[in-house]
Structure 1
Amino acid sequence: MNGARLRDLAPEQALRRLELTITHRLDGLLQGDHLGLLPGPGSEPAEGREYVPGDDVRAMDWNLTARMTTPHVRDRVADRELETWVLVDATASMDFGTGRIEKRDLAVFAVAAVGFLTERTGNRLGAQIVHDAGTRRVPARTGRPHLLGLLGTLLSAPRGQGGRGDGSLGAAADLLHRTGAGRRGLAVVVSDFLEPVDTWERPLRLLGARHQLLAVEVVDPRELTLPDVGMLTLVDPETGRKRDVPTGRRLRERYAAAAAGQRREIAAGLRRAGAARLRLRTDGDWVRDLVQHVLAQRRVAAAAPARPTAAPPAPGGVA
């Protein structure tokens, strides 16, 4: 799907095309009541099992432990209704793209994938949109009209004017942690994460302490390597500063090394924050990348050791 053409369409046509792309390509894979991006605990009691190192001691089932004479914990199953919050970076650095689409379009696609795959069973979706001038909050509600309204807001959002202002990913994550849903849900942060890691790592870690946390890292290839095009004019979208640089071999090598180091630092910060990381590129197939992430999560879950139930077998071996 071409982001530029999508924005040239009427809002209703653009949203319809986006919905069809997601439901046709993802619906068969991600079946179930909840979006299968992150395995994790719910809040309703389920089966008991023997304690293994690393289990949360708050899940100890003392009655079952007394009966079985060995430590046991009780697993949890997901609630019937899932509340999802998306934190979307719409600052000036997202108004960039040398691939097939811009980073801001890719952010809209990521939010749409989460929204269309969670709204069908009455799940609630809320959002916080970070602009250069501040943060806009969209309350969590159910229903397709609410989702289409949110996506329309993202598609029609004005481009960044440069200058950080009051818009900050870390401040928005902290605000979502303090004012978001009171019970555990899914939090999805969509950004290029180009702000200093120490400004957003701790707020994301606090957010992940309450919710399952997915970080969607949006990347453009020119943020990783420079082309060999002679003299190149570079513009910082956040500040508007310009600089002419010769793209010789040594500069391209230093740029690639610095960009790789920056991405390693971002990945380490997200890992320390406890977030699952999904990277989407403007020159790639975002649906394929999303599918590969889901399949990888399922392989990890399938490879986990089996958890035997604590209840003894019924007489005669009948369950």
Structure 2
Amino acid sequence: MNSGASLNELSPERRLRRLELTITRRLDGLLHGSYLGLLPGPGSEPAGSREYRPGEDEVRRMDWAVTARTTVPHVRTVDADRELTTWVLADATASMDFGTAEYEKRELAIAAVAAVGFLAAGTGNRLGAHLVTPGGVRRFPARGGRTHLLGVLRALLAVPRAAPAAEPAPLAGALEALRRAAPRRGLIVVVSDFLDGLDDDGLGSQAPAWEQPLRRLAAHHQVLAVQVGDPREHDLPDVGLLALVDPETGRRREVHTGSRRLRERYAAAARRQQTGITTAIRRTGAAHLPLRTDRDWVADIVRHVHARRRLGRAARRGAST
């Protein structure tokens, strides 16, 4: 995806082929032998206990029996699952139809879903998906196989752009519906810009509407929040008079970007909004993987994988001491 035509300039089948080649050439092999990489958390199979580390371990993983026996706080350790059920919730609402760099946010979201699907594929593994579209939520049951994954990706590629002022499905409701659809513990990947459900000023000064549903998911599943963003959501360029259109409402506003004060205020507001989103995701207990349209998404995923594996190795060393 980092060279040649944009995904939007290719036919659906050529888009899928390019994604699969990119993933298999640059990412394949990272998860072989362990599912501790792309997705957070160690799994669900009991593997023993180790001493509790304040600030690092979750209290809900306390092993109270060992703690009582030893009088030293311990947490349960678990091994990675070998047969996984992965659920993907992909945001394809109007706010994702935006991009000022190499590709749009929706293209990046499709790439993230493809990476999860191809990397988590394996014998006995299953993938389910909920696609949040302008017309509502489209659901795909958890099934195995490459054909099923390609069907999910084709459906995501075919989602039409939303008309301005169309009423999108709220992210909070989609998360709650996914929780009901996935009763068995597994891996949940939420791909969105997480701009839906913020308070009225959009700055994240109050808890987003999606925080509680995401927290409930993370209490039972391993959850990865993939946040898709664009550089223009963080700062404005100095290009004179600029027409801005809200893709969700169609509202149009002309802004004089030559004003340094205006650009600084915009950047400060964007930082507060991003801080609010990051903090809310962290409060839920989900892992956070930011991807941007002006960055190498493959390299960002690789860095996330290596970081999760370092944490996993550290946890295993702690369990053996």
TM-score (norm 2): 0.87
The answer as to 2:220 corresponding to 1:210 is: yes
Give 1:307 deviation, angstroms. 1.3
- Residue aligning to 1:142: 144
- Residue aligning to 1:251: 262
- Residue aligning to 1:273: 284
The within-5 A match list for 1:19-98 is: 19-32=20-33, 34=35, 36-46=37-47, 48-49=48-49, 51-52=51-52, 56=60, 59-60=63-64, 75-98=77-100
CA contact (8 A) 2:134 2:161 kept: no
Are residues 156 and 306 of structure 1, via their aligned partners in 2, closer, same or farther at CA, if it must alter by over 3 Å?
same
Aligned to 1:139, the other structure's residue is in SS state strand
The answer as to 2:319 corresponding to 1:307 is: yes
Aligned to 1:253, the other structure's residue is in SS state helix
- Residue aligning to 2:249: 239
Give 1:33 deviation, angstroms. 5.2
Query: How many aligned positions are there?
Result: 305
Q: Which structure would you say has the larger Rg?
A: 1
Pairwise CA RMSD = 2.4
Distance of 1:199 and 1:99 partners within structure 2: 29
Give 1:114 deviation, angstroms. 0.3
Give 1:29 deviation, angstroms. 2.9
Distance of 2:223 and 2:35 partners within structure 1: 14
Per-residue CA deviation, residues 77-130 of structure 1 (Å, 9 max, x unaligned), is 233311111111111010000000000000000000000011123311111111
Match of 1:289 among 294, 297, 300: 300
Distance of 2:16 and 2:82 partners within structure 1: 27
CA contact (8 A) 1:189 1:216 kept: yes
Distance of 2:240 and 2:50 partners within structure 1: 65
Structure 2: tracts of 5 or more residues without a match? 199-206
Distance of 1:150 and 1:167 partners within structure 2: 19
- Residue aligning to 1:102: 104
CA contact (8 A) 1:4 1:101 kept: no
Give 1:26 deviation, angstroms. 0.6
Q: Give the letter aligned to residue 275 of structure 1.
A: A
Give 1:165 deviation, angstroms. 1.6
TM-score (norm 1): 0.87
Percent identity reads 61
CA contact (8 A) 1:39 1:301 kept: no
